[in-house]
Structure 1
Amino acid sequence: MSNPESVIQAAPRIAVLVPCYNEEASIEAVVRDFKAALPTATIYVYDNNSKDRTSEIARAAGAVVRREPLQGKGHVVRRMFADIEADIYVMVDGDDTYHAPSAPALVARLLDEKLDMVNGARVTDWENYRAGHRLGNVMLTTLVTMVFGKRTDDLLSGYRVFSRRFVKSFPVLAGGFEIETELVVHALEMNMPLGEVETPYKDRAPGSVSKLSTFRDGFRILWMIGKLIKEERPLQSFGLVALVLALLSIIIAVPLFITYYQTGLVPRFPTAVLATGLGLLSFLSMTCGLILDTVTRGRREMKRLRYLDIAAPDFDSAFLKK
């Protein structure tokens, strides 16, 4: 594959992507504020089976409104990434908690430094951020940092800017709020150039209710992190299981060897079978890890080739100051 030569243009096509579910209290402000912050952008609102007037209000405010029937933010993001053609993608929630005037700074950072993703790290007063969400964000961000490396301070931010080559090379698999985790881990595993800009974060508008469940969605995100660790770090994952099984086998077998050394007999035959079985499972787990590590490397190479087949962002951010 050859990387097509990029052509510098004065102003890129910018799409603002707004996944929505029952956000009639805030969607008008979101569309209005982002139209003001990014006058050349097209605002896309994807209605995810709202039971209120979200679609009508968004359309009246000047947004392009589309519908995604599969429930869950991950399904909406998959549809948006597949359908919309643009050079720069700004993704933001429809709850009017993110700072629209920060959008030009995020876009400029992506263009000036030729990045593939810029994360809007939330800066907020404690009262604007539910304690359970805050604690969960810190814990999950720390876990991802320990495994995949530290490139962001706000794993679960819903405010991000992407290049076209990120969007069109990202195989969305998540169905719900765990999509943010998948986005970050994909970028880390592909060693993409990333950036982060601090942005103000405010409380929801009156009448707007959070759709994120602290415990249910928190466990779903944790489960997604576990699956990503297994899929992207199979040697470490299965190697850890192999180590635990090997240690259990040794602990169980040591008394048997002592008894055999003293008497020449193995009186606890079922225990000997258990120790042997655990040892075999340990070797089997390590073998699986080695094989899957090779498969993962091949998958990563194919994703990298697809990523390189799309031109890097090559625009001048001066149009943002006009």
Structure 2
Amino acid sequence: MDTLAILIPCYNEAQTIGKVIDDCQVAAKSVPGKTVIYVYDNNSTDDTKKIALDHGAVVRSEYQQGKGNVIRGMFREVNAQSYIMLDGDDTYPTEDIPGMVDLVINQKVDMVVGDRLSSTYFEENKRPFHNVGNRIVRWSINHFFNNEIRDIMTGYRAFSFNFVKTFPVLSTGFEIETEMSITASVNHMHVKNYLITYRDRPEGSDSKLNTVSDGMKVLKTIASMFRNYHPQLFYSIVAALFVFIAAAFFIPSVWLPYLATGEVFNFPTLIVCGFLVLAAIISLYSGFILHSLVKQEKRNFEFHLQEVQFEYERLNN
């Protein structure tokens, strides 16, 4: 099994991929053991694949479009003691590779997050809406999932074998980094931030990220994973909302007139409010049931983690 696998997902990065591979090869000389650089091409229409081959990378293709689909293929096919994932757009400093790998190999960190936002990102990035979006996503995840990851959407990360082989890739696009951050947090994986410098894309290289559409997908992913991993809180909020709406209609339209006259004048409102309270009770108990299922799933995850660790030790012997 390789000591380090450098994974580079690519889509039309002919302008920069050669330099990124060369820089990775230089950085890998400081990492003991065997390093293999994998470029996963995602239906590029330029010379990305040819340039990557010419620069000595192992090139594979993923024909389902989307970064999440590419990462699913990489994680499934590549076995290594440690992994580095970075984009092929030459925005990340490869000289940080040895330090990030050292945390995985020697400190047993499951995911090292290349933190751009605490250094040069907001100065280098020329897309202001990306800056706002990163701040919103970081606040949301750190608030709802109680973690301290400083850069949720960075594409520069290091992983352990255990993380790669237990991470369920559900997203298909750029929301994959958000999914990684949340999954590591809720499963109590060992995560560390690693400060990196960020440089914007070189002139002529265009980002594939659509600020509005991909941003909405990221926020939808956060909401969905909050519901899945914290169902008791989520459905309690829904139940409270139903009760609030019911009370807002019941008190002025039914209860206050009843106190004044002793009669109920708005039976349809009374019936609707009754159904809203019933929906609140169902929602509340649904949260209790799903909370128990989530706890069982976490226990199953720990057993699966042990199986993956046995496989890791087998591959290394």
Q: TM-score, normalised by structure 2?
A: 0.92
Aligned-pair CA distance for 1:111: 2.4
Aligned-pair CA distance for 1:135: 1.1
More helix by share: 2
How do residues 42-57 of structure 1 correspond to structure 2 at under 5 angstroms? 42-57=36-51
RMSD over aligned CA atoms reads 1.6
Local SS of the residue matching 1:215: helix
Cα separation, 2, equivalents of 1:251 and 1:301: 42
Q: 1:125 to 1:294 in 2, by over 3 A?
A: closer
How do residues 115-130 of structure 1 correspond to structure 2 at under 5 angstroms? 115-122=109-116, 123-124=119-120, 126-129=122-125, 130=127
**1:257 matched residue in structure 2:** 255
Matched, 1:67 2:61: yes
Aligned-pair CA distance for 1:125: 5.6
Contact 1:145 1:151 in 2 (8 A): yes
Once the two structures are overlaid, the 10-residue window that deviates more, 178-187 or 128-137, is: 128-137
**1:235 matched residue in structure 2:** 232
| Residue deviations 1:179-210 (CA, integer Å, cap 9, x gap) | 00110111101111111110111121232110
How do residues 298-313 of structure 1 correspond to structure 2 at under 5 angstroms? 298-311=296-309
Contact 1:46 1:67 in 2 (8 A): yes
**1:245 matched residue in structure 2:** 242
Local SS of the residue matching 1:66: strand
**2:52 matched residue in structure 1:** 58
Once the two structures are overlaid, the 10-residue window that deviates more, 79-88 or 248-257, is: 248-257
Match of 2:274 among 252, 273, 276: 276
Matched, 1:28 2:18: yes
**2:218 matched residue in structure 1:** 221
How do residues 172-183 of structure 1 correspond to structure 2 at under 5 angstroms? 172-183=169-180
Cα separation, 2, equivalents of 1:102 and 1:81: 21
Q: TM-score, normalised by structure 1?
A: 0.91
Q: 1:246 to 1:125 in 2, by over 3 A?
A: closer
Cα separation, 1, equivalents of 2:210 and 2:196: 23
The aligned length equals 304
Local SS of the residue matching 1:50: coil
Cα separation, 2, equivalents of 1:127 and 1:182: 26
Match of 2:153 among 136, 152, 156: 156
Match of 2:108 among 114, 120, 128: 114
| Residue deviations 1:258-283 (CA, integer Å, cap 9, x gap) | 22233221111111111111111111
How do residues 275-294 of structure 1 correspond to structure 2 at under 5 angstroms? 275-294=273-292
Cα separation, 1, equivalents of 2:52 and 2:123: 28
**2:79 matched residue in structure 1:** 85
Letter in 2 for 1:191: H
Contact 2:2 2:79 in 1 (8 A): no
Cα separation, 1, equivalents of 2:302 and 2:216: 30
**1:5 matched residue in structure 2:** none
Aligned-pair CA distance for 1:307: 1.5
Question: What stretches of structure 2 of length at least 5 have no aligned partner?
Answer: none
Contact 1:25 1:206 in 2 (8 A): no
Cα separation, 2, equivalents of 1:174 and 1:295: 22
Cα separation, 2, equivalents of 1:38 and 1:238: 48
**1:102 matched residue in structure 2:** 96
Local SS of the residue matching 2:309: coil
Match of 2:28 among 17, 38, 51: 38
Aligned-pair CA distance for 1:32: 0.5
**2:193 matched residue in structure 1:** 196
| Residue deviations 1:78-106 (CA, integer Å, cap 9, x gap) | 01000011110100011010000011111
Contact 1:110 1:195 in 2 (8 A): no
Contact 2:2 2:35 in 1 (8 A): no
**2:209 matched residue in structure 1:** 212
Question: What stretches of structure 1 of length at least 5 have no aligned partner?
Answer: 1-10, 315-322
